[in-house]
């Protein structure tokens, strides 16, 4: 299915490019989450100190967190609506697509809040040093299972509860494909990062390097969204065949 998604991605790239550029430029600005500067699990497994550090992170990063949650939700709902139109071979009209995405905003926001809460809960579990390996495994597991949920919400125009339930079913059904794709993406980004390091380009200190890295990251992110929406589309065909039978 990777090849099929890639072909659709190439065909629709010109329509996705504005989203990729906006996301890439945004991530290159200072108004972006920067957790790397915090020693997140470096307190020797001391729960109280780690929770205190977590509170500090929330306070210091509250503006980008809120921006990412409220504005990011609007941005990605718009992106998913456009990708859905591409896959269904509908006309791309950004104005109409944006208006359509507004109808999903509150539901998508609630879904994101639930997913963020799950992630935060798992991270807090990892504040006990001995539980960090379990936290990492659970994060990977839940991320793979939850990835199709937002695409399912918008593709089927459904409720938050149904999107979580049916989206996780799709995540379980396509677990291997999603996990393998995540591994391939990590390898690609690592190779790009390593290549930049070889020529002494530090993305954190070099604006051009930062923009390039974020552009690649945003491009990969758009492919991932197209992949999950393709999963939803294929599931629609499966359900239609079942009904016909």
From first to last of its 245 residues, the chain has per-residue pLDDT tens of 899 999 999 999 999 999 999 988 887 765 554 444 444 444 444 445 555 555 666 666 667 778 888 898 999 999 999 999 999 999 999 999 999 999 999 999 999 999 988 887 777 766 666 667 777 888 889 889 999 999 999 999 999 999 999 999 999 999 999 999 989 988 888 888 787 777 777 766 677 777 888 888 899 999 999 999 999 999 876 655 554 44
pLDDT at 230: 96
Query: d(Cα 86, Cα 203) in Å, to the nearest integer?
Result: 33
pLDDT at 85: 97
Query: d(Cα 80, Cα 69) in Å, to the nearest integer?
Result: 16
pLDDT at 30: 53
Per-domain residue ranges of the chain: 2-235
C-beta of residue 170 within 8 angstroms of C-beta of residue 232: yes
How many residues appear in the chain?
Answer: 245
């Amino acid at each position: 299915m990777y090849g099929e998604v890639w072909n659709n991605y190439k065909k629709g790239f010109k329509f996705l490019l504005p989203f990729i550029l906006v996301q890439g430029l945004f991530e290159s600005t200072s108004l972006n989450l920067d957790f790397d500067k915090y020693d997140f699990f470096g307190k020797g497994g001391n729960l109280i100190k780690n929770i205190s550090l977590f509170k500090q992170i929330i306070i210091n990063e509250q503006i980008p967190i809120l921006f990412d949650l409220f504005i990011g939700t609007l941005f990605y709902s718009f992106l998913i609506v456009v990708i859905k139109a591409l896959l269904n071979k509908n006309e791309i009209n950004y104005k109409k697509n944006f208006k359509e995405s507004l109808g999903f905003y509150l539901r998508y926001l609630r879904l994101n809040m639930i997913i963020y809460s799950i992630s935060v809960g798992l991270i807090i579990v990892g504040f006990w040093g001995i539980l960090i390996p379990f936290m990492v495994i659970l994060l990977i597991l839940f991320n793979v299972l939850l990835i199709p949920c937002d695409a399912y919400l918008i593709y089927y125009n459904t409720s938050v509860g149904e999107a979580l339930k049916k989206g996780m079913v799709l995540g379980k059904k396509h677990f291997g494909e999603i996990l393998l794709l995540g591994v391939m993406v990590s390898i690609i980004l690592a190779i790009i990062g390593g290549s930049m390091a070889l020529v002494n380009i530090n993305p954190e200190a070099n604006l051009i390097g930062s923009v390039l890295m974020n552009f690649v990251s945003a491009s990969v992110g758009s492919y991932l969204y197209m992949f999950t929406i393709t999963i939803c589309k294929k599931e629609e065909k499966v359900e239609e065949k079942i009904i016909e039978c």
